[in-house]
Amino acid sequence: MLVLIPRIRLPNPFSRLWEFLVLLLGLPGRGLAWSWRWICTQGRTLKASPYKFYLVMAARRDWVVAKIEYAHTESAKWRAMWTAVKLPYTALRAMGLNPQMAIGLLAVGSTAGTAAVASEIMAAPSFSAGDHGWYTAPSDVPAIYDDSNNTLRIDLGTTSVGEITIENVSVGTAYSNSALPAGETNVVIISGDDDEDTYIEIGHLTLDRMRCTKLTVEDTEAHTLNIKYNASDGQSIAPVAGTPRNRAIGGGMRADSMITSGGTYDQIRIGAPTSGVNGKVDKLTLSNLLTKGGPCFINRLKIGTFDILLNEIGAGTGFASKDFVVATSTVAKIINIIDNVEESISPP
């Protein structure tokens, strides 16, 4: 005998969940309910057809990537446009003119129209663009910028910097219509502060291919000191042996690198002016600097490796006047002094 048992459909407590949320929470509940339904839809799609689910996700991915690529393309086009517009100014700076003269020449229309001038005025000065100014590391934008003062100054403080590189620049009176700042006698200064009792701590300091009328290193310690292949118009190289430790500058979330190439400055100054706070740089490089009008002065540094390589130093005063001086206040654990020669060298 066939017995029919009626099918009883039990209520699903979650089937009307979104309606309950709408009544309970109002407008916020609608958003939450929509999110819940969307999640459920994706889950059903994945369960019914994993391949279809993949295609849906891939389509959404491609849509996002296409928008990102479009934004990058547009950004590159704008950068290229502004680079082309300010090319006359950049060319004048490369020829040795200071920023005031370059903008003045452009303003009278001798080289370009007013569009180039407007572009350069609108562009904020920056370290990476080779602009002078007073920079508080690690900022790429100067804290103080004055067209009447063509000094490149970097103040180091509590934030350590990964790298500072200054290369291919002219400093002091090495270019037309230039002069040292009032009251200054040194063209390049890398020094801690005697009055504030600070040093600059450096993992690796390199001075190479510099042209100085005089280079003096004093009150400095390095684990490894390499003085190689320098030519000078008189020299006194007299570091003393000691036990400075090797060092590198870490510091976790340290600042990004500060790198500039090309430019003309009345003076380059890197210091640590905050009382009791040593400046810290992991890698500091000064390369291919043409300087004139005063000495290059290195003072109050604590260094891991210190390289002085392939520099030409001289004021044309003869060998009796020592233009390349590594004073006895310079202390190092490992000292390599190789093939440094005296020869007649005059200012550029």
Classify residue 78: in a domain, yes or no. no
pLDDT tens per residue, range 256-299 = 678 888 888 999 999 999 999 999 999 999 999 999 999 999 99
Query: What pLDDT was estimated at residue 310?
Result: 97
Query: What pLDDT was estimated at residue 142?
Result: 82
Residue located via tokens 């390599």: 336
Classify residue 33: in a domain, yes or no. no
Residues of the domain holding 181: 133-342
Query: What pLDDT was estimated at residue 119?
Result: 46
Classify residue 160: in a domain, yes or no. yes
Residue located via tokens 């309950």: 20
Classify residue 222: in a domain, yes or no. yes
Classify residue 55: in a domain, yes or no. no
300-304 average pLDDT score: 98
149-174 average pLDDT score: 89
Is the separation of the CB atoms in 316 and 344 below 8 Å? yes
Contacts of 270 (CB under 8 A, 6+ apart): 153, 154, 156, 164, 189, 190, 191, 200, 279, 284
Classify residue 9: in a domain, yes or no. no
Classify residue 178: in a domain, yes or no. yes
End-to-end Cα distance, the chain:
120
pLDDT tens per residue, range 56-106 = 778 878 888 888 888 878 877 777 666 655 556 555 555 555 555 565 665
Compare 177 and 295 and report the one with higher pLDDT: 295
pTM for the structure as a whole: 0.65
Query: What pLDDT was estimated at residue 177?
Result: 78
pLDDT of 139 above 80: no
How many distinct structural domains can be found in the chain? 1
Query: What pLDDT was estimated at residue 257?
Result: 77
Taking every pair of Cα atoms in the chain, the longest distance, rounded to a whole number of angstroms, is 130
pLDDT mean across residues, the chain = 81
The structure tokens listed for 326 are 């590594």
Strand locations in the chain (E):
133-136, 151-155, 161-172, 188-191, 200-208, 211-212, 215-228, 231-232, 235-237, 240-241, 258-261, 264-265, 267-271, 279-292, 296-309, 312-313, 324-326, 330-338, 341-342
Report the alpha-carbon distance of residue 130 to residue 127 in Å, rounded. Answer: 5
pLDDT tens per residue, range 5-57 = 555 554 555 556 556 555 555 556 566 666 777 777 777 777 777 777 778 77
Query: What pLDDT was estimated at residue 104?
Result: 60
pLDDT of 112 above 50: no
Query: What pLDDT was estimated at residue 293?
Result: 92
Taken in order 181, 186, 188, 193, the sign of the CA dihedral is negative
pLDDT of 338 above 60: yes
Is the separation of the CB atoms in 275 and 197 below 8 Å? yes
Classify residue 1: in a domain, yes or no. no
Helix 87-94 crosses helix 114-122 at what angle (to 10 degrees)? 80
Q: Are strands 188-191 and 161-172 parallel, antiparallel or unpaired?
A: unpaired
